[in-house]
Amino acid sequence: MSLSTQPYKGARDFYPEDKRIQKYEFAVLRSVAERYGYEEYDAPILEPLEIFLAKTGEEIVNEQTYTFTDRGGRQVVIRPEMTPTVSRMVAARRQQLSYPLRWYSIPNLWRYERPQRGRLREHWQLNVDLFGVTTTDAEFEIISLIDDVFKRFKATPEMYEIRINHRGLIDFVLKDYLGLDETERHDVSKLIDRMHKLPDGAFLTELDALISDQRKAEQVPEKLLSFLSSKSIKDIHETLAATPSAAELKELIDKLTQSGISNVRFDPTVMRGFDYYTGIVFEVFDTHPDNNRSMLGGGRYDGLVGLFGVEPVATVGFGWGDVTLTNFLELHSLLPPLPSETRIFVVPIGEDTAKRIDGLVRELRNRGLNIACGDYRKKLGDQIKTADKKGIPFVLIVGENELREQRYVLRELATRNEQQLDINAIESTVKAWAEVHAGN
């Protein structure tokens, strides 16, 4: 019986044409993060289970992690998210590191869940975190960075919307304004978090089941629904508007708007699933009607570093998965053509030539050109087809005469244009092509 060629369920093989897309995406993400002064870090994909038990959220840890016991009896997990890891690393050097600390990473993450559009078991996720800034300057910088990523991908503001909320405001609403007890608050929070995934009407039905008659007599459902339907921070009840959380939200949204980011708004339904958020939270939604969903999210979590026995650090960060990013870029036709990194497929004519082209190939490589060699045993026509299939833009045909005269036939596959050129002209022709077609 032969082995299956399928990858593990919910995970992806990246053939070169798929990997090119990922490389393009990661290059843009890295470039923008570094433009804002963020430095890349990394950590093991396996972590002790404990660091996720504290604050990641029960559903994820108990039902969706890849958890197992290693050969030494340790309980380990393939990380489902990066935030506990980065908090661990900052805690380990709490005193030596200098703040503001700007870090980013593009870790590989795993969750055991039913694969579906926009959610796979394996994904990569840009994580950007700013440590040591207590004011909304932090949220402003982080959201500006996200907006610059969209701009760098040539997305326009109507393609996405930045929705902002505040955990402190939600807590105030549920506890002080509506007077819910701890169990009610927990249940209602989880319900709001699932709100956008529920079919029409289901939210009201589930809310009705959660709320006691006494709360109904206190008009809790009406007050909650009124709050959740606010489209602007100016719409909320004056009791809520007087809270420090509402003031922070207003300050941040004003700053972002003034800096030219127009597609930002208050959204009281943004909850974020993780238990560790302590302040402003945000999500960015794709506005495309076929994909109207959250693409990425983040917020302030000032308490996580402190769980590792050191003084807490104010932190704002976000995670942006490659699956939702790729969906967005494809749906909005933002992926540019991505040719092979290989520029020339060298085709020797005959065995004698094949044995004598090493010097030519080496010289082309020394000039910074990426060169693959063909196989002289195959027909010229088949070799040209091979180059074309691989997405290599040029074929260089080398026979006895060409070697003697040191002028070779360079064929551009897209245009079928052929020229007989010396090595200097080959170099300049191919580099000029790359300037236009590959951005280098």
Site for its own copies in 349-378 (CB under 8 A): 358, 365, 369-375
List, in order, residues 6 or more apart from 116 with CB less than 8 Å away: none
Task: Give, as ranges, the residues between 374 and 413 that touch its own copies (CB under 8 A).
Answer: 374-375, 385-386, 389-390, 392
The per-residue DSSP string of 133-185 comes to --STHHHHHHHHHHHHHHHHTT--GGGEEEEEEEHHHHHIIIIIIS---HHHH
| Residue type (1 letter), 238 | E
13 binds its own copies (CB under 8 A): yes
CB of 94 or CB of 265, closer to its own copies: 94
Compute the least distance from the CB of residue 377 to its own copies, in Å.
9
433 binds its own copies (CB under 8 A): no
Burial of 362 (0-12, 13-18, 19+ CB in 10 A): exposed
Q: Which of 104, 154, 18 is nearest to 439 (CA)?
A: 154
What letter would DSSP give residue 306? G
Compute the least distance from the CB of residue 104 to its own copies, in Å.
10
47 binds its own copies (CB under 8 A): yes
CB of 21 or CB of 270, closer to its own copies: 21
Distance CA 36, CA 146 (A): 11
Compute the least distance from the CB of residue 103 to its own copies, in Å.
7
| Interface stretch with its own copies, choices 5-13, 219-227, 266-274, 409-417 (CB under 8 A) | 5-13
Total interface residues for its own copies by CB under 8 A: 85
| Interface stretch with its own copies, choices 313-321, 323-331, 340-348, 407-415 (CB under 8 A) | 340-348
- Rule CB under 8 A: choose which of 16, 179, 244, 350 binds its own copies: 16
Q: How many CA atoms lie within 13 A of 220 on its CB side?
A: 24
- Rule CB under 8 A: choose which of 25, 56, 102, 284 binds its own copies: 102
Compute the least distance from the CB of residue 218 to its own copies, in Å.
40
- Rule CB under 8 A: choose which of 88, 175, 196, 293 binds its own copies: 88
Task: Give, as ranges, the residues between 293 and 312 that touch its own copies (CB under 8 A).
Answer: 307-309
Tokens linked to 54: 């504290």
Binding mask 213-252 for its own copies (x = CB under 8 A): ----------------------------------------
- Rule CB under 8 A: choose which of 19, 117, 186, 216 binds its own copies: 19
3 binds its own copies (CB under 8 A): yes
Contact between residue 59 and residue 183 where contact means Cβ atoms under 8 Å apart: no
CB of 187 or CB of 251, closer to its own copies: 251
CB of 41 or CB of 433, closer to its own copies: 41
Tokens linked to 4: 């299956």
Tokens linked to 146: 């996200």
22 binds its own copies (CB under 8 A): yes
Distance CA 159, CA 192 (A): 25
Cβ atoms within 10 Å, residue 188: 22
147 binds its own copies (CB under 8 A): no
List, in order, residues 6 or more apart from 38 with CB less than 8 Å away: 102, 103, 104, 128, 145
Strand-strand pairing, 160-166 and 122-131? unpaired
- Rule CB under 8 A: choose which of 24, 26, 61, 89 binds its own copies: 89
